[in-house]
Structure 1
Amino acid sequence: MSVSQTLTTEETLTCLHIELYHPDQGTQPLYSQLRLSQSLKISAEDTVMLGRDGQTCQFVLNDMRVSRKQISIHAYRKPGSAAMRFSVQNISQKGKVLVSGSELGYLERADLHDKALLRFGRYELLIWTDPGEAQDCFEVLFEKQNTSPSRDLGMDVPCTLAMVDTGMRNYQSGGPVSQEPLESDETL
C-alpha cells in the first residue's frame, strides 16, 4: 500500500501581503512589535487589526501618531466563489485612511482588489494577496519596504498632498501643526 486513504491533503493558504513604508522607519523603531517577514496564520473569522494599542490590536505600530485602533482587515468570499477576498475598514475616529486614492471616514469600508495602496499619517501600505484553497484560514505577512510604494507604482504624491487636514491648529500661528493625525489618549 503506497499512500494511506485517511491522510488529508494539505490546502494552500491565501497569503495577505502587507508591505509597510514610513519615511522615518530607519531612525525610529516603528515596527519593533511586528513580526516582519514571518507569515502568521489567522482564522478567516478573525479580523486583522492594526494600530498602536497592543491590548486590542494583534498588529502594533510603535508610533504615538497612529490611532489606538487604525484599520481592520476582514476576509470574505462572494457567493459562489471559493476565492478569499479582503476589505479594509477605517476604525480610527480621528484619522482618515486613503485606499488607492479614495478616502475612508470612520467605520467606512472598501474592498481590496489585486493591489491596494493604503495611506494614513505618513504610512504607506501596499496590500496584495497570493490566492490559496483553504476556506477557514489565511496567512498575513508583514514586510518593510525601503522605498515608497506610491513611488514604485508611479503614484508618487507628496505626503502633504495625500494627507487630510485633521483640523488640528497651532493657535499661536493659526496654521496646521502637522498633517499627521495625533490622537490623545483620554485614559492618561
Structure 2
Amino acid sequence: MNVSQTMTTEETLTCLHIYLYHPEQATQPLYNLLPLNRLHKRSAEDSVRLGRDGQTCTFVLNDARVSRKQISFQAYRKAGSADMRFTVQNISQKGKVVANGCELGYLERADLEDKALLRFGRYELLILREPGESQDSFEVLFEKRNIPPSREMGVDVNFRSAVMETGMRSYQNGGPLSQEPLESDETLFE
C-alpha cells in the first residue's frame, strides 16, 4: 500500500485571533481568567461568548465593569462558499459595542471582516480572521496588546466623547472620573 494513501491529512482550522487592550491592564488582573496565548478548538455550531459570568460565557474577563454577557461570536458560511466567517453580537442589555465604527445595541449583530476593531467600555479588541479549511470547527486565540489597536489602525477613538454617546458614566466636580458602563448586577440586591 502506498504511504500517501495511509496517512491522514491534517486540516488547518480557521482562527479567530483576538487581541485585547485595556488602559489599566498593566495594573489590574483583567485577563487572568482568559487562556492567553493558547489555541482553543471550538465547534462551528457553538457561539463564543465573552463577559464576566463564567457560567454563561465561554471566556471570562475578570472585570466587574464588564457585563455578565458582553459579546458573542458566531461562525457561519455563505451559500456556495467554503470560507468560515464570523459575526459579532452585542449581548449586553446595558452596554454598547462598537464594531468597526458601527454601534451595536442589544442583540444587534454585525459581520466581521478579516480585520475588525471592537470597542466596549474601555476595552479595544482587534479581531483577525485567519482562514482555514475545516468546515466544522475553528480555533480561538487570545493575546494581550500593549498598544491600543485603534492607534495601530489609525482610528481616532475619543473615550470621553464615546462615553457621552454610549451611556457610560462620568463623574466630575471633585468626584472620580469613570468611563465605565452603567450596569448593576441584580444579584447583588437579592
Same structural fold, with TM-score higher than 0.5 when normalized by the shorter chain: yes
Q: 1:28 to 1:176 in 2, by over 3 A?
A: closer
Q: 1:165 to 1:134 in 2, by over 3 A?
A: closer
Partner Cα separation in structure 2 for residue 65 and residue 49 of structure 1: 16
Partner Cα separation in structure 1 for residue 129 and residue 106 of structure 2: 25
SS at match of 1:151: helix
SS at match of 2:150: helix
Tell me if the contact between 2:150 and 2:157 (Cα under 8 Å) persists in the aligned partners.
Answer: yes
Tell me if the contact between 2:168 and 2:179 (Cα under 8 Å) persists in the aligned partners.
Answer: no
Runs of 5+ unmatched residues, structure 1 = none
Runs of 5+ unmatched residues, structure 2 = none
Partner Cα separation in structure 1 for residue 184 and residue 5 of structure 2: 59
How many aligned positions are there?
A: 186
- Which residue does the alignment assign to 2:138? 138
- Which residue does the alignment assign to 2:108? 108
Partner Cα separation in structure 1 for residue 176 and residue 62 of structure 2: 24
User: Percent of counterpart pairs with the same letter?
Assistant: 72
Within the alignment, does 1:13 sit opposite 2:13 as a pair?
Answer: yes
Partner Cα separation in structure 1 for residue 41 and residue 81 of structure 2: 22
Structural RMSD (CA):
2.1
Q: Tell me the alpha carbon deviations over residues 48-100 of structure 1, each in whole angstroms, 9 at most, x when there is no partner.
A: 00000011111100001100000000000000000000000000000000001
Q: Tell me the alpha carbon deviations over residues 121-177 of structure 1, each in whole angstroms, 9 at most, x when there is no partner.
A: 00000001110000000000000000000001111322212333426586x97x997
Tell me if the contact between 2:114 and 2:130 (Cα under 8 Å) persists in the aligned partners.
Answer: no
With normalisation by structure 2, the TM-score equals 0.91
Shift of 1:180: 1.8
Tell me if the contact between 2:100 and 2:117 (Cα under 8 Å) persists in the aligned partners.
Answer: yes
Report 1:12-51 matches (<5 A).
Answer: 12-51=12-51
Ranges of 4+ aligned residues in structure 1 off by more than 6 Å: none
- Which amino acid is the alignment partner of residue 89 of structure 2? Q
> Which structure shows the bigger proportion of residues in helix conformation?
2
Greater shift in the superposed pair: 176-185 or 107-116: 176-185
Q: 1:101 to 1:12 in 2, by over 3 A?
A: same
Tell me if the contact between 2:66 and 2:181 (Cα under 8 Å) persists in the aligned partners.
Answer: yes
With normalisation by structure 1, the TM-score equals 0.92
